[in-house]
Structure 1
Amino acid sequence: MLSFHPAKLVVPHGLAYHHHHHHHHQYVSKPILCSASSSSHHHDHDHNSSSRRSLLLLLPTALSLPLPPYTSASDNNNNTTTPLDTTITDRVFLDLSICPTYFRAQAQSQDVPLCSDSEPLGRVVLGLYGKLVPTTVSIFKAMCIGSSSYKNTFIHKVLPGQFLVGGRQGRREKGEVVPPLGLPQNKETVDSRAFMLDHSRPGVVSLCLSENDDDDDIKLDPDYHNVEFLITTGPGPCPQLDGRNIVFGVVLEGMDVVRQIASIPTYKPGERIKLFNDLAEFLGDGRAENARNLWDRPLKSIYVSDCGQLQVAKPSLTPSLP
């Protein structure tokens, strides 16, 4: 039976080690010469010696076989995944305004101005990827053109240098969203392909999943539809959002408006308040989450004063030659 010393590996004769330039190492097989022993006291070991010689003859061949190349999951994905179709199928707009006074919604109707002295910030035009994530796009379009839309609702959170968030659900009189009935169930939220686009630059529009702050009692409703969205503001990417939120569009016009919103000061709790909040959450006090919903809110009321879909004419056909 073969035995190996645990402390060292003995390279058998016939397996020469050569050192080449550039620190490449290679084992080169050399022929092994085996001669039969004439000593009578070795005859009882002929069988074992023959086995050893067979193994040593095979060992250089085995070591010279190339190892399979290392492959990563990303390499496999790159080789097998078809390019993502980011064709812009629809264009919608959000008119954004700022209310110098405290935003107090007194009426349920979207046609009633909710801020008498609002100052327009400008229009943001979004291009939507309807071929990549059709359900997410159809829901967002419905929220821009339907009777219950984003109109007269808050941009309720701004993280400077990262992104802004709108579309939080709740009560109309608080400037929150009430989605219309009949929206389709969004199965793309469990489709891995829907999460493949990154938040790699300013102006990326995505469905807010990891950053969603709708109240739990709203999320537990069987008819709940997530309509909260975020727009990256720059200047850099937001890798913490990648793989956790569904990118479904891009800002085509109005990045200056987005940057202007990103520059507005927001509410930042002090360390003492954060400690009390952590303690309240540890003790199971539900008010801790409600308090955190106020963090990162703009100190001025920013809201969607109007929204809708832009009808874009089809591009002209290439003239045909006679």
Structure 2
Amino acid sequence: MAYSLPPPPPPSPSLPHHFTRRSLLLHSTAATTTTKTALSLPHTPTVTERVFMDFSLCPNNFLPDRADTLSPLCPDPTLLGRVILGLYGNLAPLTVSNFKSMCLGLNAASSSYKNTLVHKVFPGQYLLAGRQGRPDKGEVRPPHGLPRNTDTVDAKAFALPHSRPGIVSLSLSENDDDDEIKLDPEYRNVEFLITTGPGPCPRLDNKNIVFGTVLEGLDVITAIASIPTYQPSERIRQFNDLAQFFGDERAQNARNIWNRPLKSVYISDCGELKVTKPSLTPTLP
């Protein structure tokens, strides 16, 4: 009985077919250059700062109805839980600094993220918070003198992808602030998003600045993502598209409530947690 040997495996594409001193030297140099380039890329995220956010649910409110900012956003809230965020100060230093300022609330003339709404939830993708406007309506007002964010013109700041649930990103392409607010010379973008999963969200890549990750409390983000949202009928969407085509400003006003949670979800508390040792791993430093 005759046996035939299997054909030999094809040569490795990474190495030349005929080895000479020159070919090996060139191959070694190319590999070394590639390794050095990969190591020198400034895209390695390091958790340099930590903040916490407590999220609460107001089961009876669709929109907050407060006379002033001193009134509670919800008289009988249900605490959903605490989320701890690790921030990448080495990749987006000004974004992280401004975000921390908004968590702490620097002066009485401004409002922090505390008592502000999660105003949009896109199922299976991300949630939005930090919309600017009236604090008595659960929106934020950044402090005067907040530094202008030059990270928005730094390619390095856009390097990280929205590859999994729990990615924290400065919302640029998905920003929901009114146009008249954006035209203010002192406008500073503080709206942020958190990906909810279950998978990646590539539509956000290269358009928004990833500056952190959820270290603890991803189950809280998942719970928020499961809350039903307002979804207009197809007929309403068609009318809205037509109105927007003709430049009717009411079209955008109507869109402001699309994807809004049908129960008010808000940041009931937030603050800073000290980092004693910056970490390259997505765990608590």
Q: Same fold (TM over 0.5)?
A: yes
User: Within the alignment, does 1:130 sit opposite 2:89 as a pair?
Assistant: yes
* TM-score (ref. length: structure 2): 0.80
Secondary structure of 1:136's aligned partner: helix
Inter-partner Cα distance in structure 1 for 2:171 and 2:277: 31
Name the residue aligned to 2:69.
108
Match for residue 53 of structure 2? 94
Write out aligned runs for 1:243-282 (5 A): 243-282=206-245
Identity, % of aligned positions: 65
Distance 1:79 1:130, change over 3 A: closer
Q: CA separation in 2, counterparts of 1:150 and 1:141? A: 10
User: Would you say the 8 A contact 2:131–2:190 is kept in 1?
Assistant: yes
The CA distance in 2 between the partners of 1:312 and 1:132, in whole Å, is 16
Matching residue's letter, 2:66: A
Contact 1:155 1:164 in 2 (8 A): yes
Which residues of 2 match residues 127-206 of structure 1 at below 5 A? 127-146=86-105, 147=107, 148-206=111-169
Q: Secondary structure at the match of 2:168?
A: strand
Give the whole-Å Cα distance in 1 for the aligned partners of 2:251 and 2:159.
33
CA distance in 2, matches of 1:156, 1:194: 25
Cα deviation 1:139-172 (Å, max 9, x = unaligned) = 0000000142001110000001110000000111
Instruction: Tell me, yes or no, if the aligned pair for 1:129 and 1:248 is still in contact at 8 Å.
Output: yes
Deviation per CA, 1:251-275: give whole Å up to 9, x if none. 0000010000000000000011001
Count of aligned positions: 241
- The answer on whether the counterparts of 1:106 and 1:114 sit within 8 Å (CA) in structure 2 is no
Deviation, structure 1 residue 104: 1.9
Equivalent of 1:301 in 264, 267, 282: 264
Greater CA radius of gyration, 1 or 2? 1
What SS class does the counterpart of residue 83 from structure 2 fall into? Answer: strand
CA distance in structure 2 between the aligned counterparts of 1:207 and 1:270, rounded to whole angstroms: 30
Code of the residue aligned with 2:202 in structure 1: it is P
Matches of 2:37 and 2:251 in 1, distance apart?
43
Structure 1 position 196, deviation (Å): 0.5
How do 1:45-56 residues align onto structure 2 when only pairs under 5 Å count?
A: none
2: CA distance, partners of 1:134 / 1:183: 13
TM-superposed CA distance for 1:127, in Å, is: 0.3
CA distance in 2, matches of 1:280, 1:314: 53
Mapped contact 2:170–2:211 kept (Cα < 8 A): yes
Q: Is the 8 A contact 1:105 1:172 kept in 2?
A: no
Q: Please state whether the residue corresponding to 2:243 is helix, strand or coil.
A: helix
Give, in angstroms, the shift of residue 174 of structure 1: 1.1
The alpha carbon displacement at 1:85 in A equals 3.4
Deviations 1:32-64 (A, max 9, x none): xxxxxxxxxxxxxxxxxxxxxxxxxxxxxxxxx
Which residue identity does 2:82 align to in structure 1?
A: R
The answer as to whether partners of 2:42 and 2:156 remain within 8 angstroms in 1 is no
Q: Is the 8 A contact 1:202 1:235 kept in 2?
A: yes
SS in 2 for 1:206: strand
* 1:155/1:303 contact within 8 Å kept: yes
Task: After the TM superposition, list the runs of 4 or more consecutive aligned residues in structure 1 that deviate by more than 6 angstroms.
Answer: none
CA shift, 1:290, in A, is: 1.1
Instruction: Specify the alignment match of 1:67 in structure 2.
Output: none
Q: Which stretches in structure 2 are left out of the alignment for 5+ residues?
A: 1-9, 11-33, 279-285
Equivalent residue of 2:80, what SS?
Answer: strand
Shift of 1:121: 0.4
TM-superposed deviation, 1:113: 2.3
The RMSD of aligned alpha carbons is 2.1
